[in-house]
Structure 1
Amino acid sequence: MKLLWHIEKKRGNFRPVLTYRVELDDWERELATPALRIASSIPEPVRSWQDHCYPGELERGDEPPTGCYPLEIPPHKGRFGSTSLRLPWRADNRYPEVEASFEALREAYETALAAARASEPMNERGSLRLSGASLRAAAPAILAARLLGDAGAAR
C-alpha cells in the first residue's frame, strides 16, 4: 500500500485542503482485502463545504470543529481516486493530527492485512469407494449380472 497526501492552502482567508490517495499493490489485491474505514483525529470544520473562513467566524470565532473526518482504504477490487478534505483555518498552518491519523490508518490496515494473510490457501481433493463389507455383500449380485451379461453377449 502506498498512501500519498498533501495539504495546500491559498494565501488569505482560504481553508487548507488535504488531499490523499491510497494505492494498493497487486499482492494486496490478491488477498481480497476489504474496505477499511477509521475515525481520524482530523477535525472537520463547521460548514466544511465552504472554502474560506473570515476572521471572527466559524473556527476563527466561537464555532470550533465538532467532529472528525473518517479516513478509508478501498477494497481489493476498488479503484480509488483522490479524496479531498477541507481543514479548519489555522494561523500557524500546522496540522500534526494529519500524519498521526494516517499512521493510525496504516496500522489498522496492517492488522487487516495480517488477518487476510493468515487465511491459508487450500486445494483438497478426495474420492471414496464402497467399503470391503459392502463389496462382499454385493459380490454375488455383481457376479450374476456380469455372467448374465456375458451369456447374453455370447449368443
Structure 2
Amino acid sequence: MIIEWNINKKRGNFRPVLSYSIKLEEFEKELGLPQVVMESTIPEPPNSWSASCLPEKCERSGETCSTYRLYTPNHKKGEVEGKFTLPWRTDSDYPEIQDSFTRLRDHFETILKEAYNSHPVDLNGRLELSEETRKYIAGGLISQRFLEAVGF
C-alpha cells in the first residue's frame, strides 16, 4: 500500500487542505483484503466547508475540532483519494496526519499478514470400487456375460 499526501495553504486566513491518495499494490489486491476503517486524529475544524477562518472565529476562537475518518481502498478498485480541510494554525504543523496514516498502515499490515497466511488450496480426489466389492460381484458379472455370449 502506498500512501501519499500533500498539505496546501494559501497566504492569509485560508485553511490548509490535505489531499491524499492510497493505492494498493497488485499483490495486495489479489488477496481480497477488506477495507480498514478507522477514526483518525486528523482534526476537522468547525464549519469545515468554509475555505477560510477569520480571527476569533471557529478554531481560532477556541472551538474544538472533531476528527476525520480514514479508510483503505477496497481490493477491487485498489485506490482512494480524498481531501480534508484542516484547521487554521499559526505554525502550520499537523503531526496528526503522519500519526494517523501510520496507524492506518499498521492496521492494514495486520490484516495483510493474516490474509497472506491463508494459503491457497487445490485439492482433488478420486474413489473407485473397493477390492472387496469387485470380488463380490465378479462371479455374477462373468456368469451374465457368458450367458449373453451363448445367446441367453
Q: Shared fold by TM > 0.5?
A: yes
**Residue segments in structure 2 that go unaligned for 5+ positions in a row:** none
* Alpha-carbon distance change, 57 to 150 in structure 1, aligned in 2, over 3 angstroms: farther
Shift of 1:53: 1.0
Write out the 4+ residue segments of structure 1 that deviate beyond 6 Å after TM superposition. none
Q: Distance in 1 between matches of 2:41 and 2:96?
A: 6
Q: Which moved more, 1:11-20 or 1:27-36?
A: 27-36
**Residue segments in structure 1 that go unaligned for 5+ positions in a row:** none
1:43 paired with 2:43, answer yes
* Aligned equivalent of 1:112: 111
* Alpha-carbon distance change, 61 to 151 in structure 1, aligned in 2, over 3 angstroms: farther
2:98 counterpart SS class:
helix
* Alpha-carbon distance change, 128 to 61 in structure 1, aligned in 2, over 3 angstroms: same
1:16 paired with 2:16, answer yes
* Alpha-carbon distance change, 37 to 149 in structure 1, aligned in 2, over 3 angstroms: farther
Q: Matches of residues 6-155 of structure 1 in structure 2 within 5 Å?
A: 6-65=6-65, 67-151=66-150
Q: Distance in 2 between matches of 1:3 and 1:11?
A: 27
Shift of 1:63: 1.7
Aligned length in residues: 152
1:98 counterpart SS class:
helix
Shift of 1:32: 1.5
**Percent identity for Structure 1 against Structure 2:** 41
